[in-house]
Amino acid sequence: MAEIITVSVLNRYVKTLLERDAVLDGLAVRGEIAGFVHHYKSGHYYFSLRDEQCSIKAVMFSRDARRLPFTPQNGMRVILRGRVSLFERDGAYQLYVEEMIPDGVGSMQLALEQLKARLAAEGLFDPARKKPIPTEPACIGLVTSATGAAIQDIRNVLTRRWPLVQVLLAPVNVQGQQAAEEISAAIRRLDADGRPDVILVARGGGSREDLWVFNDEGIARAAAGCKTPLVSAIGHEIDYCILDLVADLRAPTPSAAAELCVPDQGQIMHKIQLFQENIHKSMQKRMEMWYNSNERLCQALAARSPGKMLEDRAGQLDRMAESLRRAAHSRLAQEQQRMEGAAALCAGLNPYAVLARGYAMVRDEAGELLPAEQPVQPGEHILVQRARQTLRCQVEDTLEPERNPQ
């Protein structure tokens, strides 16, 4: 008779058998999600994975669920990677999921739209956060495959348009399981380096599946956190990915990205030539203006020079001297005429002139002139002054003056 054991021992034994089976450890299972439950308190995902005939319980713990770029939904076809074990309490075996990948275009597109909506809600696509691209970078950080056609196209364009620019290559795989992690790390490494003025993430054309890696959330967040302006150039013009939405500038092709990142040396040389011509014309015009201004200043200086001023002042002085001479002659003539008139008047009033005509002046003995109204008494001594002599006389008598006949 077989040994009697407990249910716990049985379940533990079966669990041990399942976990020791190498086939059941790390396997990948394709199916459709059903009965999906998100336990908000713990963050675990509980659901069933089914196909047309069977189903299996599955659980994805929060530490793995947090890495998913999408939210699983009922009816979504997925590929699960994990291990099979037994849940001892219920005696049910189930799939412990470590990785979940959308299976098919529909599921992949749904996961992509969910990721877009989540990143957009966080503001990663906001135009206001996009940084301007430098017009003349000295160094470009390039994230691409070292053996792909994109790097050759970019180098050809840079050499032709702006050979002065330095290219700092961060070689990565642009497809495959490790590509997303390598691209994210390369963006962060170039951003921390400090030398690049702009970072260019590029990949040549390919199928939708080939370019799908650039929809990775890790790459999007590395680009969003990049302090250096970042340009995305993935595939062809019709190809769009999440990196294009996060990048500061999206270019339709790698060659176009190289053209957008650097100026055209031909155009720069043409602009320099125009600047030189404009500067020459401006200098010529300035020189003409200065020459004309100098001529005017020289003329003004000559008109106001000390010699000219002295010459003008000398002329003025000569004219003033001549005017003074004329005024002096005129004044002298006037004064001479007045003096002659006064002299004639004085000559007419000169008593000695009267004496010369036969008249005489009478003075007393002391020599004082006797007025006509002062009487003279007989016996007084008087002096009679004539024109040429003075007579000392004694009055014998006084006579009444003769009456003039009427």
Average pLDDT, stretch 386-400? 84
What is the pLDDT at residue 75?
84
| pLDDT per position as a tens digit, 256-298 | 999 999 999 988 888 889 999 999 999 999 888 888 888 888 8
For residue 127, the 8-state DSSP code is G
- The rounded distance, in Å, linking the Cα atoms of 191 and 172 is 15
Is it the case that residue 200 has pLDDT exceeding 90?
Answer: yes
| pLDDT per position as a tens digit, 21-78 | 888 888 999 999 999 999 988 999 999 999 888 899 999 999 999 888 888 888 888 9
Is it the case that residue 388 has pLDDT exceeding 90?
Answer: no
- The rounded distance, in Å, linking the Cα atoms of 208 and 240 is 10
Asked if residues 170 and 141 have their Cβ atoms less than 8 Å apart, the reply is yes
Which position has the higher pLDDT, 59 or 404? 59
Structure tokens at 3: 């040994």
- The rounded distance, in Å, linking the Cα atoms of 141 and 215 is 21
The model's confidence at residue 405, banded by pLDDT at 50, 70 and 90, is low
- The rounded distance, in Å, linking the Cα atoms of 242 and 203 is 14
Alpha helices in 72-195 (DSSP H): 105-121, 149-161, 179-193
What is the pLDDT at residue 306?
77
CA angle 198, 199, 202 (to 5 degrees): 135
- The rounded distance, in Å, linking the Cα atoms of 35 and 386 is 177
The CA–CA distances, whole Å, from 326 to 169, 315, 331, 335, 368 equal 104, 16, 8, 14, 49
- The rounded distance, in Å, linking the Cα atoms of 94 and 270 is 72
Asked if residues 155 and 127 have their Cβ atoms less than 8 Å apart, the reply is no
- The rounded distance, in Å, linking the Cα atoms of 265 and 390 is 134
Highest mean pLDDT among 42-51, 207-216, 353-362, 380-389: 42-51
The model's confidence at residue 189, banded by pLDDT at 50, 70 and 90, is very high
- The rounded distance, in Å, linking the Cα atoms of 322 and 218 is 107
Asked if residues 266 and 259 have their Cβ atoms less than 8 Å apart, the reply is no
Does residue 342 sit in helix, strand or coil? helix
Nearest to 333 by CA among 341, 323, 344: 341
- Side by side, the strands of the sheet bearing 166-171 are 166-171, 139-144, 198-203, 230-234, 249-250
Q: What mean pLDDT, rounded, does the chain reach? A: 88
For residue 360, the 8-state DSSP code is -
Residue found under tokens 């990048």:
247
| pLDDT per position as a tens digit, 161-172 | 999 999 999 999
* Total residues belonging to the chain: 406
* Residues whose CB falls within 8 Å of the CB of residue 4, separated by 6 or more in sequence, listed in order: none
Is it the case that residue 351 has pLDDT exceeding 80?
Answer: no
Average pLDDT, stretch 364-386? 84
Spell out a b/e string for 217-249, using b for 16 or more CB atoms within 10 Å of the CB, else e: bebbbbbbebebbbbbbbbeeebebbbbbbbbb
| pLDDT per position as a tens digit, 309-349 | 787 788 888 888 888 888 888 888 888 888 888 887 877 77
| pLDDT per position as a tens digit, 68-118 | 888 888 888 899 999 999 998 988 899 999 999 888 766 777 788 888 999
- The rounded distance, in Å, linking the Cα atoms of 365 and 199 is 145
| pLDDT per position as a tens digit, 237-247 | 787 899 999 99
291, containing H or E segment: helix 265-303
What is the pLDDT at residue 241?
92
Which position has the higher pLDDT, 22 or 177? 22
Highest mean pLDDT among 31-35, 123-127, 206-210, 383-387: 123-127
Q: At what angle are helices 217-224 and 179-193 packed, to 10 degrees?
A: 10
The model's confidence at residue 1, banded by pLDDT at 50, 70 and 90, is low
